[in-house]
Amino acid sequence: MADIVDPKHEALVEHLFQRTCVVMGLRGFSLKPLRRRLRGKGKFRTLMYGYTRIGDTVITVDLYTPKTMKPRKLDAIIRVICHELTHHQEPPRRCFWKGRYVVIDHHPRYWRKYKKNMEVLARDEILCEYFS
């Protein structure tokens, strides 16, 4: 099977990713589609839609559903992209909890920033047509 399932879908997602980066004010990031070893086989209960590493400028997003390999909806992909870019705006925090230091990825300031970013994306003239 070809490495790219739907080149039109991937090109559109790349365009939306670049527009999202411009609207959020983050430059220099690149999108990498999540590639599965065997398409449509194996465990389908994965909850990972995307991931990123703090300090790295590559964001990996799952563009297709795991079982049927159908393209995901564009508003869901934009929300995942916004989620991963917000990790770079509000990095994980260390806090003292139950007698030990823990790292919290999704702290309250993170979710406030995510909601503000989503409001900005929903008001954008190009990206607003993908939100209902």
Domain ranges of the chain: 7-130
**E strands within 26-92?**
30-33, 50-52, 58-61
Residue 59 above 50 pLDDT? yes
Please give the pLDDT value at position 1.
47
How large is the average pLDDT for residues 51-61?
Answer: 93
User: Nearest CA to 49 among 24, 31, 26, 66?
Assistant: 66
Per-residue confidence band for 5, with pLDDT thresholds at 50, 70 and 90: confident
Fold of 7-130: Zincin-like (3.30.2010)
How large is the average pLDDT for residues 96-106?
Answer: 91
Strand partners, 97: 100
Residue 44 above 60 pLDDT? no
Q: Counting beta carbons within 10 angstroms of the beta carbon of residue 86, is it exposed (0 to 12), middle (13 to 18) or buried (19 or more)? A: buried
pTM (predicted TM-score): 0.88
Please give the pLDDT value at position 20.
96
- Tokens linked to 84: 């991963």
